[in-house]
């Protein structure tokens, strides 16, 4: 195991950063299998800060002061890191060592190893923009039907709303009168 980088940071600051990025589990989530929540640890040498961000879309991020040198990024399971870092005393200094296959957390005589998601030779989890849900464009009419033409009974529209087509409404006999009063 060859160290790629080493960085020192206070335990309370690292715990604050990781807790801000990793969402809490819901109450009933303890019964189900916990899904891993990958995070990226990135070092900003200009600011002497360690950045903790979500690995998939970078929707959440946090920076804390740290000293040392670090590889481009290290990706680990954030849920495990939250649980481990929260157990250290607040004023203690933690040393994070990026190894080839693991991330070592050193404090005093304790040494804990976390498996990395981005071992050498692999790029790890690639950061992508989040998918947007919502409007995808205008409804397309078939080329043989004019947009103002009549629709067939129970014609399927390209969206899921149940919108009554004017031709298919039941006649009420007479027009509704506006409420008086």
User: pLDDT (tens digit, 9 = 90+) per residue, 32-81?
Assistant: 677 889 999 999 999 999 999 999 998 889 999 999 999 988 999 999 99
User: Residue 79: in which H helix or E strand, if any?
Assistant: helix 78-85
Fold of 5-115: DNA Polymerase III; Chain A, domain 2 (3.10.150)
CB-based contact 5:69 (threshold 8 Å): yes
Query: Taking the complete model, does pTM exceed 0.85, yes or no?
Result: no
- Per the model's pLDDT, the better-predicted residue between 80 and 29 turns out to be 80
Confidence of residue 166 (pLDDT cuts 50, 70, 90): low
Can you give the residue ranges of every domain in the chain? 5-115
- Per the model's pLDDT, the better-predicted residue between 177 and 49 turns out to be 49
Listed as own residue / partner, the contacts of 53-56 with beta carbons closer than 8 Å and 24 or more positions apart are 53/21, 54/21, 54/78, 55/117, 55/124, 55/125, 55/127, 56/125, 56/127, 56/128
What was the pLDDT predicted at 59? 87
Q: Is the pLDDT of residue 181 over 70?
A: no
What pLDDT, in 10s, does the model give residues 101-147? Answer: 999 999 989 999 999 998 877 888 888 888 877 766 776 766 665 55
User: Residue 103: in which H helix or E strand, if any?
Assistant: strand 102-107
Residue 27 DSSP SS3 = helix
């Amino acid at each position: 195991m060859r160290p790629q980088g080493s960085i020192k940071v206070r335990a309370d600051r690292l715990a604050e950063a990781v807790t801000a990025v990793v969402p809490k589990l819901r109450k009933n989530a303890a019964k189900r299998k916990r899904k891993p929540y990958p995070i990226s640890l990135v070092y900003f040498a200009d600011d002497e800060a360690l950045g903790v961000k979500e690995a998939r879309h970078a929707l959440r991020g946090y920076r804390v002061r740290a000293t040392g040198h670090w590889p481009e990024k290290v990706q680990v399971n954030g849920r495990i890191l939250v649980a481990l870092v929260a157990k250290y005393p607040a004023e203690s200094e933690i040393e994070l060592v990026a190894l080839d296959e693991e991330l070592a957390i050193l404090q005093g005589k304790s040494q804990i190893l976390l498996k990395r998601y981005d071992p050498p030779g692999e790029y790890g989890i690639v950061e992508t923009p989040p998918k947007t849900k919502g409007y995808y464009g205008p409804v397309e009419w078939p080329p043989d039907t004019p947009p103002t033409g009549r629709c067939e009974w129970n014609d399927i529209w390209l969206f899921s709303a149940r919108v009554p087509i004017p031709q298919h409404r039941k006649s009420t006999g007479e027009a509704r009168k506006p409420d008086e009063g």
